[in-house]
Amino acid sequence: MVKVVEVKALPDFRLHVRFEDGIEGEVDLSSLAGRGVFRIWEDEPGFSAACVGSGGEVEWSEEVAICPDSLYLRITGKTPAQLFPNIEEISLGA
């Protein structure tokens, strides 16, 4: 897992994120705004409360956070297999 070390909320539900490995970029989260637990963002001030959590995630409250891995994948365009090369694919046969 690559941890977030800095986050800045931008207009239109976007974040600028910097990771511990120096990678940084913007991610658009507008598709999540107002949905489910992300109702906390129904206004820009709610979204602007973004901060780095103790585990390197981006959080808005104890109940609302986004995993740093998902942000890293979106910013870099990498696949989960590229980020986690030792992960095994398991077919559940369902």
Q: Report d(CA 84, CA 46) in Å as an integer.
A: 33
pLDDT over threshold 60, residue 56: yes
15-41 per-position pLDDT tens digit: 999 999 999 999 999 999 888 999 988
Q: Write down the pTM of the prediction.
A: 0.83
Amino acid at position 36, single letter = G
Q: What's residue 93's pLDDT?
A: 63
pLDDT over threshold 90, residue 80: no
Domains in the chain, start-ordered, CATH in brackets?
4-81 (3.30.2020.10)
Amino acid at position 42, single letter = E
Choose among 53, 34, 59, 31: nearest CA to 44: 34
Higher pLDDT, 47 or 82: 47
2-14 per-position pLDDT tens digit: 999 999 999 999 9
In our burial notation (b when 16+ CB lie closer than 10 A, e otherwise), range 25-49 reads eebebeeebeeeebebbeeeebbee
